[in-house]
Structure 1
Amino acid sequence: MSGFSYGFTVTQRAKSVKQPRGGYLKPKSFVAVSLGEGLDELNPVENVPASLVGMSVDYLSRFLSGTRLEEAFKPSLKGSVVSHHAEEADRLLRGVTGLDDASITNAVKLTGFDVCFRVGPQLYKPVEEIQPDTSTIENIRVMVNRTLHFLDVYGPKILDGFTFEGGYSDVIVNGDGDFLTADTLWDLKVSKNPIKKEHTLQLLMYWRMGLRSVHPEFRNVRYLGIYNPRLNVASRIEVSQIPDDVIDAVEKDVIGYAE
């Protein structure tokens, strides 16, 4: 496998690899369905980084759809250990009980530890400086409720926050997925923008890695999907529609599986 770089996360690899024109898995090939009110019904300005808003929506949705709190915020808790702030993170975690203002504020602060786990403690910024305002809190509450409705429509979930033991390669060494329902692998994207080819490649990588992982549930996947609670749109493609040569190219040239 000469010519490969090593040690990527799924997201890093999806962003860095050169794709064919239009992408390996073209965003326009996904069928989009609106689940109700979208971007126009949200407050236009948020005062914390979009990445923290996205993780807060994701983790709160996992918790409020039945996952244990410690599991839902597992990456954040791991980051707090790396940055030697485990006691502070535990206090914040105990303050997450639902979708009241205090719970959402604590959840957003908690996600400030994620970067320590995903990138490194050198990027840690004091989480006490993260103070979501009313507009941000309201948006997170609406988007979590939208995600819970989405899971009512397309779920229930059978896995969330899963990793891919058995499916990693020398090239891809880390990465975790969002939601798996009975027949669909879902990625959550909290963005104002339409689906990008980096998003669809990431999803395709998750599927192929999942099939080699310790999770037998991936054998039942018939669709790949992206749900965006900011736009309130669910987009899916049947895996039977994905050409074999595209799957082969992604497995070999992107993930780095041997022949």
Structure 2
Amino acid sequence: MTSVTQRIAQIKQPYGGYLKPKDFDEIIFDDGIKLYPEENINAGLVGTAVDYLTRYTMGTLADQAFDISLFGASIIDEKENADFLLSRVRGLDDLSIRSACKLVGYDVCARVGIIGYKNADDIHADEKTVINIRTMVNRSLAFFEQHGPIIKEGFTFELGYTPTVTSGDGDYLTEDTLWDFKVSKNKPTTGHTLQLLMYYILGIRSIHSEFHDVKKLGIYNPRFNKAYLHEISKIDSSLINKVAADVVGVEANII
């Protein structure tokens, strides 16, 4: 079993990456708010909490927005505690955000395995971290209000997977753009851009016909409040087919 991110870690990209981050157009949004420079919990937890809270506040049911967290908790027989934490997630108040930070601590059990798990109840987001998360969720809501509507979120690629890449889930799909959601403290990397291209290839192969309408690949980072966009028409078809064959493991040409 190999996920999209695991596959990216296995391969060596050409110099500058298959899909160069510098070729993405940068779009800057300015809400006049500066985040606190330090947060007291793991950056991965912060990013996941922002992601799931964004989905929840946009209307996804709480148990669907946090489904990976709940599944991870069930693996270690802590579903009851996870359900309790979920019941406290009701919006973007302090208690909801702190409960979400604890709840996403179970994700590692589902994504990596129990070897990486640390007690979720030991996760205590401080005031500055809570404020940063709230700001980033609100930025995300404003972004998708402008660039939506979202037609799919948290999707998988049924019938799109291959013997080489057997799992992976995308973030957001709007009418013409496949979006990946990053809360990284760094600019997009070659791994991030390859991940997007792999999602596009898997989407084209999948049962979801909406991917055939995708014209752009995008990354949105609410930490920077920036988006990065690349038109698919500007990507050489030979490059897409090479990634499909060499990275994803597709036998026939995609385009």
4+ runs of 1 displaced by more than 6 Å?
none
- Displacement of 1:37 after TM fit? 4.2
Contact 1:14/1:199 (8 A) holds in 2: no
Aligned residue for 2:29? 35
Secondary structure of 1:214's counterpart equals coil
TM-score for the superposition, normalised by structure 1: 0.95
SS in 2 for 1:208: helix
- For the residue of structure 2 that corresponds to 1:247, the secondary structure is helix
Deviations 1:44-69 (A, max 9, x none): 11011000000000000011111111
Residue 164 of structure 1 deviates from its aligned partner by 1.1
Q: Deviations over 1:15-73 (max 9, x none)?
A: 331111111101111111111148x8000110110000000000000111111111111
Which structure has the higher relative contact order (CA within 8 Å, separation 6+)? 1
Which residue, out of 40, 63, 66, partners 1:73? 66
Q: 1:15 aligns with which of 9, 18, 36?
A: 9
User: Displacement, 1:107?
Assistant: 0.6
Once the two structures are superposed, residues 108-164 of structure 1 have per-residue CA deviations (whole angstroms, 9 ceiling, x without a partner) of 111101010011123221100000000110000000000001101111111111111
TM-score (norm 2): 0.96
Calculate the aligned-residue CA RMSD, in Å: 1.1
Looking at structure 2, the residues matched to 217 and 63 of structure 1 have their Cα atoms a distance apart, in angstroms, of: 23
Q: Where does residue 131 of structure 1 map in the other structure?
A: 124
- Overall identity of the aligned pairs, in %: 52
Q: State the 1:206 CA deviation.
A: 0.3
Which whole-Å deviations, capped at 9, do the CAs of 1:184-212 have from their partners, x for residues lacking one?
A: 00001101211111100000000110111
2:159 maps to which of 143, 146, 166: 166
1:1-259 → structure 2 map (5 Å cutoff): 7-37=1-31, 41-259=34-252
> Structure 1, unaligned stretches of length 5 or more?
1-6
1:229-251 CA-partner distances (Å, limit 9, x unpaired): 00000111111111111101110
**Letter in structure 1 aligned against 2:58:** S
The number of residue pairs the alignment matches comes to 252
1:222/1:238 contact within 8 Å kept: yes
